[in-house]
Amino acid sequence: MATAGHTSQVASAIKDINHKLFGGYAELLRIPHTARFAVGSVIACMPFPMVGMTITISVQHYYGNYSLAGALTAVQAIALAVFSPVLGKLVDKFGQRQISIPTIIVWMIAATALVTCITNRAPSWILFCIVPFMAAIPPWGAMSRQRWTNLLKGDRERTNRALSLSSVFDEAMWVIGNPLASTLAVISGLLAFSFTGVCVLVGALMVLTELTTEPKSQTVLAREAGMTRKQYREREAARAKALQAEAAVERARCKAIDEGLSEAEVQAAMRLAEADVKAGRKESIWGAGMVALCVTWFGLGAFQSAAGISIIAFATEAGMKQYTGFVFACFSISSLVGALVYGAKNWTIPLWKRFYFCLTVVNLGIGCFMFARHLWVIMIIYLLIGVCQAPTWVNGNQLMLHLVPPTRFTEGMAWMGAMNSIGGSVGSAIAGQFIDRMGSHGGFLVVTTLALVSLAIAYTGFRQIKSSTETPTLTTVSV
């Protein structure tokens, strides 16, 4: 009887944990039409995890050159960093279907041309001309999040949960994409690119034919308001400036009161803040903490991309190239678990402590790869440190709320994303050069150096990051 009671309690506890972690997500997916675009956007995003690895494995196979493979993936990463914001802006203006369809056509043509040139060992300059067009990928993740936000407008709790669900799906995409890319690319680069193309088409059909949840574009909203798009943008800009002025005045009032200023001085500070917004003057975002955070994100992109190409080289030397995707998938699975658990808890530990702890675990863990003597050792390290990967990104996003003015939060996030993409391209290019000269050990030497330097730079902003997040608060963390 006691055993049965104990078993029942364990089952009940497991059920409670399962409901806490997944109950809210299941509720969202039961909303009509949501599962279709949410899952479809993940399927359509398969080029993100698969194309870079497929290019690396295929180019190394046909050309025997890691420098060329690293340089090509670097060019694609830079093109993605440049084109993604442009495509996002065009989607806002003209609509998701209107921009996605021609973008997909460009990508399919580029993918066909690239695989044809690689398998026929075309001159490398032709590959460099084609690879930028492989960045013609609609911003599926952003479009999915926009649909959630539009559908759940006014419900902050469920909106935050939906955005967390999108991030969990993103991690699942990497879990599936990495092993598939390595397995298929080892068999045939043509097979890997063909599978990716099928995913793009299937995912696009699921998302773009779901019209009931598609947000209205600026063109449609302007037409409904009886305005031109220019007039509509000017009206919305005026509304945004009014809201910015209101927020700036309130911040100035609170700050002046906290400093113990007189009533007259408080009023003067409020008038000055309002005048600054109306004059178009912006509060500076480039403090020591912001600089350190952006350089840290550059380092994260650099050493993680360098680790990717170095692991492929290491596995190739060991005759285990077909297993590289599973190694990367372990990192993504571990990160997925970390995202689910970290996002389900309200944290009282100060944000700066969580940020530096997770960052240190990830950097030092990946820095240990150069001491590994077997591919499975790298996989185990990935499993152990992966639980801190997603929380590191969450903490970085949360830090941005403390380090930049609210009116420039989007700009701050854009800088973080751009620095990470550029770092990724630089890291893979440098690692490719060292691998060609010194083998995988040279690549891991680059990884360790970048990881340690990145961690050291992160601590240069310690004072501002700590002071801006010192007060412990109950923070609902959005993954």
- Per-10-residue mean pLDDT for the chain, 479 residues long? 60 61 72 86 80 78 80 81 77 83 91 88 90 86 78 71 71 69 71 83 89 80 80 74 74 78 81 73 63 81 80 82 76 78 70 85 86 84 83 75 61 69 77 82 86 85 71 35
Q: What is the pLDDT of residue 20?
A: 59
pLDDT of residue 429: 77
Which contiguous run of DSSP H or E holds residue 347? strand 346-347
pLDDT of 406 reads: 54
Q: Residue 5 domain-assigned? A: no
Query: Do 226 and 319 reside in the same domain of the chain?
Result: no
Give the CA count within 13 Å in the CB-facing half-sphere of 367.
16
46 shares its domain with 132: yes
Q: Would you say residue 3 lies in a domain? A: no
Structure tokens at 44: 């359509």
Q: Are residues 205 and 113 in the same domain?
A: yes
Distance of CA 378 to the CA centre of its chain: 23
**CB-based contact 114:127 (threshold 8 Å):** yes
- Nearest CA to 180 out of 48, 38, 369 is that of 48
Of 192, 215, 238, the position where a domain reaches its end is: 215
The residues with which 475 forms a beta bridge, in sequence order, are: 347
**The predicted structure's pLDDT at residue 414:** 61
Rg of the chain on CA atoms, in Å: 24
* 431 and 293 within one domain: yes
Contacts of residue 257, Cβ cutoff 8 Å, sequence gap at least 6: 266
Task: Tell me if 4 is assigned to some domain.
Answer: no
In a domain, 125, yes or no: yes
**Type and span of the H or E element at 475:** strand 475-476
Which H helix or E strand runs over 131? none
Q: C-alpha angle 223/226/230, rounded to 5°?
A: 70
Domain residues for the domain of 261 are 218-278
Torsion of CA 380, 381, 387, 390, to 10 degrees: -120
Shared domain for 350 and 437, answered yes or no, is: yes
Query: What number of other Cβ atoms are within 10 A of residue 226's Cβ?
Result: 8
Task: Evaluate whether residue 7 is within a structural domain.
Answer: no
Residues 291, 429, single domain; the answer is yes
The domain that holds 35 is classified in CATH as 1.20.1250.20
- Does residue 223 share a domain with residue 211? no
74 in any annotated domain: yes
Query: Looking at residue 128, what is its pLDDT?
Result: 92
65, 67, 71, 77: CA torsion to nearest 10: 90
Q: Are residues 338 and 239 in the same domain?
A: no
Give the pLDDT score at 472: 38
Q: Are residues 211 and 224 in the same domain?
A: no
Q: Residue 320: which residues within 8 A CB-CB, separation 6 or more? A: 375
Domain-terminating residue out of 215, 245, 262: 215
User: Bridge-partner residues for 346, per DSSP?
Assistant: 476
Domain match, 348 and 468 both = yes
Domain total for the chain?
A: 3
* Domain assignment present for 2: no
Report the alpha-carbon distance of residue 477 to residue 391 in Å, rounded: 9
Give the three-state DSSP class for 387.
helix
Q: How many CB atoms lie within 10 A of CB 233?
A: 14
The two structure tokens encoding residue 319: 């005759």
- In terms of Cα–Cα distance, which of 469, 171, 413 is closest to 297? 413
Residue 110 lies in a domain: yes
- Tell me which of 278, 309, 327 is where a domain ends: 278
Same domain, 85 and 155: yes
**Per-residue confidence (pLDDT) for residue 13, from 0 to 100:** 58
Residue type, 366: I
Provide the angle, in degrees to the nearest 10, between the axes of the packed helices 96-119 and 189-208.
170
Cα angle vertex 124, ends 86, 70, to 5°? 65
DSSP annotation string for 160-172: HHHHHHHHHHHHH
Q: At residue 344, what are phi and psi to the nearest 5 degrees?
A: -90, -5
Any residues with CB less than 8 A from the CB of 476 and at least 6 apart, and which?
A: 160, 346
Co-location of 159 and 47 in the same domain: yes
Cβ count within 10 A of residue 88: 16
Residue 16 burial (CB count, 10 A) = 11
